[in-house]
Structure 1
Amino acid sequence: MTVNTGVGEEAWSTVQRLVEWLDAKDNATPDKARLLRILKLSEEVGEVAQAAMGADNANPRKGHSHTWEDVQHELCDVMLTSMVALLTLTPDAAKVFQERLDAVAERSLA
Structure 2
Amino acid sequence: MKDAPDAAVWPTVDRLCAWLDAAAERPAEQELLLRVLKLSEEVGETAQAVIGASGQNPRKGYSHTWRDVESELCDVVLTAMVALRTLTPDAESVFTEHVRKVARRSLGPAPGTAPRTAPDPGPATAG
Alignment of 1:60-99 (within 5 A): 60-99=58-97
Q: Which structure has the larger Rg over C-alpha atoms?
A: 2
Q: Which has the higher contact order (CA 8 A, sep 6+)?
A: 1
Q: Which amino acid aligns with 2:74?
A: C
Hey, what's the Cα distance between the residues in 1 that align with 2:97 and 2:7? 15
CA offset at residue 101 of structure 1? 0.3
Hey, what's the Cα distance between the residues in 2 that align with 1:91 and 1:10? 16
CA offset at residue 53 of structure 1? 0.6
Per-residue CA distance 1:30-85 (angstroms, 9 max, x = gap): 01000000000000000000000100001112110000000000000000000000
Residue 58 of structure 1 aligns to a residue whose secondary structure is: coil
- For 1:23, the equivalent position in structure 2 comes to 21
Provide the aligned C-alpha RMSD in A: 1.5
- For 2:104, the equivalent position in structure 1 comes to 106
Whose helix proportion is higher, 1 or 2?
1
Hey, what's the Cα distance between the residues in 2 that align with 1:40 and 1:84? 10
Hey, what's the Cα distance between the residues in 2 that align with 1:94 and 1:9? 12
Hey, what's the Cα distance between the residues in 2 that align with 1:25 and 1:31? 15
* Structure 2, unaligned runs of 5 or more: 109-127
- For 2:125, the equivalent position in structure 1 comes to none
**What TM-score do you get using the length of structure 1 for normalisation?**
0.92
Q: Which amino acid aligns with 2:58?
A: P
Moved beyond 3 Å, runs of 4+: none
Hey, what's the Cα distance between the residues in 2 that align with 1:102 and 1:8? 16
* Structure 1, unaligned runs of 5 or more: none
- Percent identical among aligned pairs is 58
Q: Which amino acid aligns with 1:92?
A: D
Residue 21 of structure 1 aligns to a residue whose secondary structure is: helix
CA offset at residue 9 of structure 1? 4.7
Hey, what's the Cα distance between the residues in 1 that align with 2:59 and 2:84? 36
Hey, what's the Cα distance between the residues in 2 that align with 1:11 and 1:44? 19
Whether 1:55 and 2:53 are equivalent positions in the alignment is: yes
Hey, what's the Cα distance between the residues in 2 that align with 1:15 and 1:51? 24
